[in-house]
Amino acid sequence: MQIAFLSYWSCPRTPLGILSSGGMNVYILNLASELAKLGHRIDIFTREHSRQKNNIVNIGRYVRLIHLKATGDDNYQKSLEFGRNLIGFIKNNSLKYDIFHSHYYYSALSGIEVVKHVKAPLAVTFHTLGEMKKIYAGTIDKPRIEAERGIVGDADALIASTELEKDELIRYYQANPEKIHVVIPGVDHRLFRPKSMTLSRRKLNLPQNKKIILFVGRIDPVKGISLLIEAVGGMQVEVLLIGGDIKSRSFWQHPEVKRIKDNIESKKLEGRIKFLGSKAHRLLPWFYSAADLVVLPSVYESFGLVILEAMACAAPIIASRSGGLKYLIEDGKTGVFFESGNSADLAEKLKKLLLSEKQLVQMGTRAYWESQKYCWDKQAVKMVEVYRKLSG
């Protein structure tokens, strides 16, 4: 099959944790790679940006990354122009695709524009939903929610990561259940696997004698970093925050970063909470293995790929009881939940876990074995089944 991925919102090759780059990038690259191994050809279309060197990049056998222009006054206009430029690219190069798969709602708007002129079905993975961000994070974005409702009606298929997301699409967007296909994301077990804590800390220049708590993700209000800072206030731990372009002046001027920094300074935690910035994906297994605990304090997560990566590295996990995380973690066995938004509950559970080395090891081991269920090769086969059903 010839498959076109649309990734308007974020170039999949952007370093993780910078700007809009996060779990969706990992999802797109891993899925494309596994589909290529099955013999399918994938073109990933994304916006032109300052970090790119070439407009068309071969990033693997049968996988190309193609950058297109997108101009306009706002992302809505840019996404439509991106779609029009994609139509032009297809026609100018005499291309034919069996399926278009849009990632995130802006890409879906582009995709709807494309399939008006190019005959092929459109599948959409939202990754996050505006209605859920409104409910869990209090972020109200009416134009986004309205756009998502239109996409739900226009798309040929909706790919949900969990049964919960399927239920959310039906309940809050009145989606046709027959349109929704649940395909759970996976993890690259060749990259993410357990390593020695001692060796990991030595490689990363981290202290051997301190308790280390790790956060990995975008520096965004929905990720709950301020909650984590509140929780560790009186604890003798070192907190490592991976994410963001710390070499950029604009990063330090971002409202959420300034708020987190002010919070750290007001609690006199400057020496114990450190912004490490974005890290190469190949280094993340070393960080997961170096940590005593990996914490995901998000107020909302549609799935939680960071948690799955940590599990594959046998890292003990504590996470908020939100969104799709309950499909990954079995409370008390493969990780521990704390009440979402409750810093006191997080603090209490952090202290208890850090005092129990045996429980941490047992949780990490169970998490590792649980992670083996989530392999991209198996999920790619399921995705192809959806594609074939759509394309006839």
- Structural domain boundaries of the chain? 2-186+375-391, 197-371
pTM recorded for the entire structure: 0.90
Phi, psi (5° rounding) for residue 146?
Answer: -65, -40
Instruction: Report the topology of domain 2-186+375-391.
Output: Rossmann fold (3.40.50)
What distance in Å separates the CA atoms of residue 269 and residue 256, rounded to the nearest whole number?
17
Instruction: Judge whether 45 and 2 are in contact, CB under 8 Å.
Output: no
- What integer pLDDT is reported at residue 18 of this predicted model? 54
For residues 161 and 153, give the distance between their C-alpha atoms in angstroms, rounded to a whole number. 19
Quickly list H helices, 138-235.
Answer: 142-154, 163-173, 197-204, 225-232
Which pLDDT score, from 0 to 100, does residue 15 have? 67
Predicted local distance difference test score (pLDDT) of residue 212: 97
What is the pLDDT at residue 20? Answer: 53
- Let me know: does 128 contact 24? Beta carbons within 8 Å: no
**Yes or no: domain 197-371 corresponds to CATH 3.40.50.2000:** yes
| CA angle 88–89–94, rounded 5-degree value | 100
Residue 146: predicted pLDDT = 97
Measure the CA–CA gap between 20 and 166, rounded to whole angstroms: 24
DSSP conformation class of 223: G
Q: Which pLDDT does position 323 carry in this prediction?
A: 77
Do the domains spanning 2-186+375-391 and 197-371 agree at the CATH topology level?
Answer: yes
Burial 329-353 (b: 16+ CB within 10 A, else e): beeeebbbbbebbbbebbbebbeeb
Question: Which stretches of the chain score pLDDT less than 70?
Answer: 15-22, 50-54
Per-residue pLDDT, 154:
97
Helices 343-354, 357-371: crossing angle, 10 deg rounding = 100
pLDDT at position 325 is 86
pLDDT in the model for residue 51: 65
What backbone torsions phi and psi does residue 152 show, to the nearest 5 degrees? -55, -35
Rounded-to-integer distance, Cα 116 and Cα 95, Å? 16
The residue among 339, 386, 356 whose CA lies nearest residue 179 is 386
Beta-strand ranges (E) seen in the chain are: 2-7, 41-47, 56-60, 63-68, 99-103, 122-125, 157-160, 180-182, 212-216, 238-242, 273-277, 293-296, 317-320, 336-338
